[in-house]
Amino acid sequence: DAKTTQPTSMDCAEGRAANLPCNHSTISGNEYVYWYRQIHSQGPQYIIHGLKNNETNEMASLIITEDRKSSTLILPHATLRDTAVYYCIVRAFNDYKLSFGAGTTVTVRA
- Residue from 53, 67, 96, 110 touching other proteins (CB under 8 A): that is 96
The Cα–Cα gap between 78 and 51 comes to: 25
For position 21 contacting other proteins by CB under 8 A, the verdict is: no
Nearest residue (CB) to other proteins, 17 versus 51: 51
For position 87 contacting other proteins by CB under 8 A, the verdict is: yes
- Residue from 40, 43, 66, 110 touching other proteins (CB under 8 A): that is 43
For position 44 contacting other proteins by CB under 8 A, the verdict is: yes
For position 97 contacting other proteins by CB under 8 A, the verdict is: yes
Which of these ranges, 6-14, 22-30, 74-82, 101-109, lies near other proteins under the rule CB under 8 A? 101-109
Q: What is the 3-state secondary structure (H, E, C) of the chain?
A: CCCCECCCEEEEECCCCEEEEEECCCCCCCEEEEEEEECCCCCCEEEEEECCCCEECCCCEEEECCCCCEEEEEECCCCHHHCEEEEEEEEECCCCCCCCCCCEEEEEEC
- Name the site residues for other proteins (rule: CB under 8 A): 32, 34, 36, 41-46, 49, 87, 91, 93-103
